[in-house]
């Protein structure tokens, strides 16, 4: 994995909830000569795991995962689904959401309004090379490469299925360079504009990388997620329903 991951912490939280609930519920049921009620116990585990995650200030999506994990395990194990189906679901999720492992960045795409706003921003910016870090299915790079044939546009994506889709879309665009891999392994030295639409999790580390590698005067644009404790040179509010913000940082 190419980033500091919180997985051991999340595993410890879930295990703590399981241990606390079962170490009380099991002896209680034994004393009363009852069988353990798995569904109720799993609901208690979910509630306690949610509480522990909230008390330790985990991101909201981790709290939700903690709340539903144990009840979901009990629920699905009662459905007698063949194990191959779990494997198939896991494999499909891995093909699409590999970026969520390690970086906590799932796949969701920049909308058309944002791509248009980026186009307008770049019209006023001297740019030879543009890169989208975590380029998804190529929605930004392909649109940009199509309209700005004077720019070399690069995209790097580490999830297999989005990468294949982007590869097909980029194939007809001569100025579009599409790579499978991790953006942590890409040097940002050559790029005039670096674009990222990720999540809060990697922003601090990504900013350190940008500061270290990008040239003075180059532009770092983050869609929706600001760099903590760094003031953006400009903030653009996109005219879309989710009021997307583009945070622009000059190196």
Ligand X SMILES: C[S@@+](CC[C@H](N)C(=O)[O-])C[C@H]1O[C@@H](n2cnc3c(N)ncnc32)[C@H](O)[C@@H]1O
CA distance 44 to 99: 31
CA distance 85 to 24: 34
Binding track over 148-187 against ligand X, x by CB under 6 A: --------xxxx--x-------------------xxx---
With CB under 6 A as the contact rule, the residue among 139, 175, 222, 244 that binds ligand X is: 139
With CB under 6 A as the contact rule, the residue among 53, 99, 201, 249 that binds ligand X is: 99
Looking at the Cβ atoms of 29 and 109, the one nearer to ligand X is 109
CA distance 42 to 61: 19
The reply on whether position 61 binds ligand X by CB under 6 A is: no
Looking at the Cβ atoms of 42 and 223, the one nearer to ligand X is 223
Work out how close the CB of 25 gets to ligand X at its nearest, in angstroms, rounded to a whole number. 39
Q: How many CB atoms lie within 10 A of CB 42?
A: 21
DSSP assignment string, 62-113: HHHHHHHHHHHHHHHHTTT--HHHHHHHHHHHHHHHTTHHHH--------HH
Applying CB under 6 A, what is the total number of residues that bind ligand X?
Answer: 25
Work out how close the CB of 195 gets to ligand X at its nearest, in angstroms, rounded to a whole number. 7
Binding site for ligand X (CB under 6 A): 2, 98-99, 103, 105, 107-110, 132, 134-136, 139-140, 156-159, 162, 182-184, 197-198
């Amino acid at each position: 994995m190419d980033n500091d991951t919180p997985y051991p912490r999340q595993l410890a939280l879930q295990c703590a909830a399981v241990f606390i609930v079962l170490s009380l519920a099991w002896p209680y049921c034994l004393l009363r000569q009852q069988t353990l009620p798995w569904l109720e116990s799993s609901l208690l585990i979910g509630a306690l795991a949610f509480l522990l995650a909230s008390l330790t200030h985990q991101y909201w999506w981790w709290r939700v995962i903690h709340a539903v994990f144990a009840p979901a395990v009990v629920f699905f194990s009662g459905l007698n689904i063949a194990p191959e189906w779990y494997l198939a679901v896991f494999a499909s999720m891995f093909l699409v959401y590999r970026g969520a492992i390690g970086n906590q960045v799932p796949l969701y795409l920049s909308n058309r309004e944002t791509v248009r706003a980026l186009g307008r921003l770049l019209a006023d910016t001297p740019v030879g090379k543009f890169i989208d870090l975590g380029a998804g299915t190529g929605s930004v790079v392909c649109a940009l490469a199509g309209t700005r044939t004077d720019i070399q546009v690069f995209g790097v994506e580490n999830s297999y299925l989005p990468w294949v889709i982007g590869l097909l879309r980029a194939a007809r665009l001569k100025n579009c360079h599409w790579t499978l891999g991790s953006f942590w392994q890409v040097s940002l030295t050559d790029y005039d504009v670096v674009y990222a639409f990720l999540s809060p999790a990697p922003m601090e580390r990504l900013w350190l990388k940008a500061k270290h590698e990008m040239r003075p005067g180059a532009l770092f644009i983050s869609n929706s997620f600001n760099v903590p404790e760094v003031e953006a040179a400009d903030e653009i509010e996109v005219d879309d329903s989710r009021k997307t913000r583009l945070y622009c940082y000059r190196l």
